[in-house]
Amino acid sequence: MSKEKEILDDFSSKFDVKVKTQRDRRAWVSIKKTDLLDISAWLKEQGFTHLSSLSVTDWIDDDKYELTYHLWSYKDNILITLKTKINRKNPVIKSVSSVWGENAQIHEREMHELFGVKFEGNNDLSPLFLEDWKGVPPFKKDFDWRKYVREEFYDKNNERESGYYD
C-alpha cells in the first residue's frame, strides 16, 4: 500500500469523510464546518504543515460560500483540499490560525476583506488591500463592479466616458 493511500484511508476512517482522489498527489475532501478544527489539528500532526492557500467560492444560486483549504505535506508530498460550505447570509467559521499560525491568519484576513467571511478566533481582520472601502465585499458575485465604476469614477456628461452608460 502506498503511503498516500495509507494517509487517505486513515483520514476517511477516523473522521467518516469521503476522500475523492483526482490524480496523483491531489485529494479533495468535503467536511462539515463543525469538524474543521479537529480535522485541521489532526492533519497537521500527520505532516500537513503547509497551508498552501485558502480560498472562498461564492455559490450565489445555492446561497452558500464554499471555503477551500489547500494543505501540503512536505513529508509525504500530497495535497489535501478541505472543502466546507457555510451560510452566505451569515458567513461565520472558526479560525484555523491556532493550527497554522500567521500563515492562516493572513489568508483569513484577505478572505474577510474580499468576501466578508468572519473567522472566529482570528484577532486581526483589519482591511488589507482596500483603503476606505464602504461598499459590500467586492469579490461577492452580487457586487456589480461595472455599476460601481460608473457611479464612482465616470462622468455621464464627459464625451469620452458617456459610452459606458447605455
Partner 1 sequence: MSERNSTIKIMRGSLGTMINQIEELTDSEYDLYFGPAHPGSGNFSVKLKVDGEKIISARADPGYLHRGFEKLMEYRLPIQNAVLSDRICILEPLNWNLVHAEAVDELMGIEVPSRAKYIRVLMAELSRIQSHIIWYGVFSIGLGFDTGFKMAFGYRDYILDIFELITGGRVYPAGYICPGGVRRDIPKSAQDKILKVLDKINEMIKLEKLENPSLRSRTEGVGVLSINDAIRLGATGPVLRASGMQTDVRKDDPYEIYDELDFEIPVRKEGDAYARYLIGIEEIKESIKIIKQVLSRLPDGDFIDPSFKKPKLSAKIPQGEVYIRNEIARGEAGVYMVSNGGNTPYRCKIRGPSFLHMIPVLEYLLKGAQIADVPAIYWSLNICPADMDR
Burial of 63 (0-12, 13-18, 19+ CB in 10 A): exposed
Report the C-alpha gap between 15 and 38 in whole angstroms.
Answer: 9
- 19 near 8, Cβ under 8 Å? yes
Closest distance between partner 1 and the C-beta of residue 148, in Å? 11
**String of contacts with partner 1 for each residue 61-100, x by CB under 8 A:** -------x-x-x-x--x-x-x------------------x
How many residues bind partner 1 (CB under 8 A)? The answer is 33
Q: Does 139 bind partner 1 (CB under 8 A)?
A: yes
CB atoms within 10 A of CB 89: 8
Of the candidate residues 49, 64, 116, 125, the single one contacting partner 1 (CB under 8 A): 49
Q: Does 153 bind partner 1 (CB under 8 A)?
A: no
Q: Does 145 bind partner 1 (CB under 8 A)?
A: yes
Q: How would you label 51-61 residue by residue, b for 16+ Cβ within 10 Å and e otherwise?
A: beebbbebeee
Report the C-alpha gap between 57 and 91 in whole angstroms.
Answer: 12
Q: Does 43 bind partner 1 (CB under 8 A)?
A: no
Q: Which residues of the shown chain bind partner 1 in the complex (CB under 8 A)?
A: 22, 25-26, 28, 49-53, 55, 57-58, 68, 70, 72, 74, 77, 79, 81, 100-103, 105-106, 110, 128-131, 138-139, 145
